[in-house]
Protein backbone atom coordinates (compact mmCIF):
# COMPACT_ATOMS: atom_id res chain seq x y z
CA UNK A 1 0.00 0.00 0.00
CA UNK A 2 1.53 3.37 -1.01
CA UNK A 3 2.57 5.82 1.70
CA UNK A 4 2.26 9.54 0.90
CA UNK A 5 5.04 11.65 2.40
CA UNK A 6 4.01 15.22 3.15
CA UNK A 7 5.86 18.43 3.79
CA UNK A 8 3.96 21.33 5.34
CA UNK A 9 0.72 19.44 4.75
CA UNK A 10 1.28 18.87 1.02
CA UNK A 11 2.16 15.59 -0.65
CA UNK A 12 5.77 15.62 -1.90
CA UNK A 13 6.57 11.95 -2.45
CA UNK A 14 5.06 8.48 -2.50
CA UNK A 15 6.72 5.41 -1.02
CA UNK A 16 5.87 2.15 -2.81
CA UNK A 17 6.85 -1.44 -2.36
CA UNK A 18 9.18 -2.84 -5.03
CA UNK A 19 6.55 -5.19 -6.47
CA UNK A 20 4.00 -2.42 -6.80
CA UNK A 21 6.57 -0.11 -8.41
CA UNK A 22 7.61 -2.78 -10.93
CA UNK A 23 3.97 -3.48 -11.74
CA UNK A 24 3.38 0.22 -12.39
CA UNK A 25 6.46 0.37 -14.63
CA UNK A 26 5.22 -2.60 -16.69
CA UNK A 27 1.80 -0.98 -17.10
CA UNK A 28 3.39 2.30 -18.21
CA UNK A 29 5.52 0.47 -20.79
CA UNK A 30 2.45 -1.32 -22.12
CA UNK A 31 0.45 1.92 -22.33
CA UNK A 32 3.36 3.59 -24.14
CA UNK A 33 3.54 0.71 -26.63
CA UNK A 34 -0.21 0.99 -27.26
CA UNK A 35 0.07 4.75 -27.79
CA UNK A 36 2.95 4.32 -30.26
CA UNK A 37 1.09 1.57 -32.13
CA UNK A 38 -2.07 3.66 -32.37
CA UNK A 39 -0.09 6.62 -33.72
CA UNK A 40 1.61 4.39 -36.30
CA UNK A 41 -1.73 2.99 -37.47
CA UNK A 42 -3.28 6.47 -37.63
CA UNK A 43 -0.40 7.70 -39.79
CA UNK A 44 -0.71 4.74 -42.17
CA UNK A 45 2.43 2.95 -41.00
CA UNK A 46 0.56 -0.23 -40.09
CA UNK A 47 0.85 -3.55 -41.89
CA UNK A 48 -2.18 -5.59 -42.93
CA UNK A 49 -2.60 -8.92 -41.11
CA UNK A 50 -1.99 -11.02 -44.21
CA UNK A 51 1.15 -9.08 -45.10
CA UNK A 52 2.48 -9.33 -41.54
CA UNK A 53 1.86 -13.08 -41.51
CA UNK A 54 3.72 -13.49 -44.80
CA UNK A 55 6.70 -11.46 -43.54
CA UNK A 56 6.92 -13.53 -40.36
CA UNK A 57 6.64 -16.83 -42.22
CA UNK A 58 9.41 -15.78 -44.61
CA UNK A 59 11.69 -14.91 -41.69
CA UNK A 60 11.01 -18.25 -40.01
CA UNK A 61 11.85 -20.22 -43.15
CA UNK A 62 15.21 -18.44 -43.58
| pTM (2 d.p.) | 0.63
Measured distance CA(47)–CA(24) in Å, rounded = 30
What's the Cα-to-Cα distance from 55 to each of 21, 49, 52, rounded to whole Å? 37, 10, 5
Strand partners, 11: 6
Number of domains in the chain: 1
pLDDT of residue 46: 85
pLDDT of residue 38: 93
Range of the domain at 34: 3-61
Give every CB contact of residue 55 below 8 A, 6+ residues apart in sequence: 47
pLDDT tens digits for range 23-62: 999 999 999 999 999 999 999 988 889 999 999 999 998 7
Amino acid sequence: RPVVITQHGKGVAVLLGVNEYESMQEKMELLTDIQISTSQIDSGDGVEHGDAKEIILQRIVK
